[in-house]
């Protein structure tokens, strides 16, 4: 009997939904029926530090990479064969010996405004309380509304919606992709344009990570890879890697396809108080992953030269 593909994932509803999407994509490209997909795959739920520590801001305990740490350790140890990630939670610099083998087609990368009392951010009253745990969203919100009172708002999507219902904040901001995958998009009262709130690097994308030398798993995953998403997020992650910065640095970036070989890109870095913002825009011809990586690296270095290392490390 063929050995099962052991797929590591967090245990949240969203993480499990995204893992189901990966299994469905594999079934589609390999012609498996439902029973075959169940027989050929095994979902391994792994609790991460990011899940376990909920009483402190994420940036204070090591950043979004803590949603991947234990999963990557299991991958390196060989107790799982691949790992499914919300790609925005995966640091741009990955552990030695691991890489990304597959990207599902990207969902809408936009951020969504969610409130029980206002339809848009600008309808909130002066000094309104808005909950978010993202340093990027905090900076972008303050850039738009310096009067806001921002409070820490951690937890999975259901938890944050519950906190909103309990009145812990008057509004929050969530990834539209996550709401859609959980069929909760009706909670979004406004979808921010990219000009209003530029998304996190790789937001809306699901990536599958594996050991670099595991050719068998790579071959199995390769046919499910969505090439346009792969090239776009490769561009964005190279941009992020070139900037460096700490987990306290508000960084945003989005690569969008204009045509079969043309990507337009906008990237931003902000001060934590949102008062200072530096942007870079590019239009690039991209046909290969190496071209996407070089173009993203160039964009990151351009913005780094403009903002300065001291600004990014502040």
Per the annotation, the verdict on 89 as an active-site residue is: yes
Residue spans of the domains in the chain: they are: 1-104+205-225, 111-191, 227-305
Residue in 81, 89, 111, 230 annotated catalytic: 89
Architecture per CATH, domain 111-191, reads as 3-Layer(aba) Sandwich (3.40)
Q: Looking at domain 227-305, which of 3.30.160.40, 3.30.420.300, 3.40.1370.10, 3.40.190.10 is its CATH number?
A: 3.30.160.40
Residue 56: strand pairing partners: none
- Return d(Cα 56, Cα 47) in angstroms, integer: 17
Q: What is the pLDDT of residue 187?
A: 97
- Return d(Cα 27, Cα 44) in angstroms, integer: 18
pLDDT < 50 regions, the chain: 1, 61
- Return d(Cα 69, Cα 73) in angstroms, integer: 6
* Residue 4: both structure tokens together: 């099962």
Domain 1-104+205-225, CATH class in plain words: alpha beta
Tell me: the pLDDT tens digits for 137-168?
999 999 999 999 999 987 889 999 999 999 99
Q: Where are the alpha helices (DSSP H) in 204-280?
A: 215-222, 227-243
- Return d(Cα 303, Cα 88) in angstroms, integer: 20
The answer to whether the beta carbons of residues 92 and 240 sit under 8 Å apart is yes
Q: In 10 A of CB 261, how many CB atoms? A: 12
pTM given for the model: 0.91
Helix, strand, coil shares of the chain, percent, nearest 5, are 40, 20, 35
DSSP string, 57-113: -GGGTT-GGGGTHHHHHHHHHTS-SEEEEEGGGS-SSPPTTEEEEEEPPPPP--EEE
> H/E element holding 312?
helix 309-313
Tell me: the pLDDT tens digits for 260-306?
899 999 999 999 999 999 999 999 999 999 999 999 999 999 999 99
> H/E element holding 291?
helix 289-307
Pairing mode, strands 111-115 and 82-86: unpaired
The answer to whether the beta carbons of residues 261 and 287 sit under 8 Å apart is yes
Q: Does 111-191 match 1-104+205-225 at the fold level?
A: yes
Q: What is each CA distance from 252 to 9, 101, 128, 263, 277, in whole angstroms? A: 25, 23, 24, 16, 11
């Amino acid at each position: 009997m063929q050995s099962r593909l052991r797929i590591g994932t967090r245990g949240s509803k969203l993480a499990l939904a995204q893992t189901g999407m990966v299994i469905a994509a594999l079934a589609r490209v390999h012609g498996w029926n439902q029973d075959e997909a169940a027989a050929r795959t095994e979902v391994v739920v792994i609790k991460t530090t990011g899940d376990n520590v909920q009483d402190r801001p994420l940036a204070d305990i090591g950043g979004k990479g803590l949603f991947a740490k234990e999963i990557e350790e299991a991958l390196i140890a060989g107790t799982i064969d691949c790992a499914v990630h919300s790609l925005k939670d995966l640091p741009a610099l990955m552990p030695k010996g691991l890489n990304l083998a597959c990207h599902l087609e990207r969902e809408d990368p936009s951020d969504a405004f969610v409130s029980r009392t206002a339809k848009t951010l600008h309808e909130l009253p002066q000094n309104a309380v808005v909950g978010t745990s993202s340093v990027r969203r905090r900076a972008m919100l303050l850039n738009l509304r310096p009067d806001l009172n921002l409070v820490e708002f951690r937890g999975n999507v259901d938890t944050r919606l519950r906190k909103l219902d309990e009145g812990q904040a008057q509004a929050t901001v969530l990834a539209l992709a996550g709401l859609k995958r959980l069929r909760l998009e009706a909670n979004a009262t406004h979808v921010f344009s990219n000009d209003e709130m530029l998304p996190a690097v790789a937001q809306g994308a699901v990536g599958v990570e594996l050991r670099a030398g595991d050719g068998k798993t790579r071959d199995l995953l390769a046919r499910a890879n969505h090439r346009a998403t792969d090239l776009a997020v490769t561009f964005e992650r190279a941009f992020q890697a070139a900037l460096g910065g700490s987990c306290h640095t508000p960084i945003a970036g989005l690569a969008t396809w204009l045509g079969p070989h043309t990507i337009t890109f906008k990237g931003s870095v902000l001060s934590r108080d949102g008062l200072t913002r530096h942007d870079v825009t590019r239009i690039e011809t991209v046909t290969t992953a190496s071209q996407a990586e070089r173009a993203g690296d160039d964009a990151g270095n351009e913005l780094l030269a403009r903002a300065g290392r001291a600004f990014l490390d502040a």
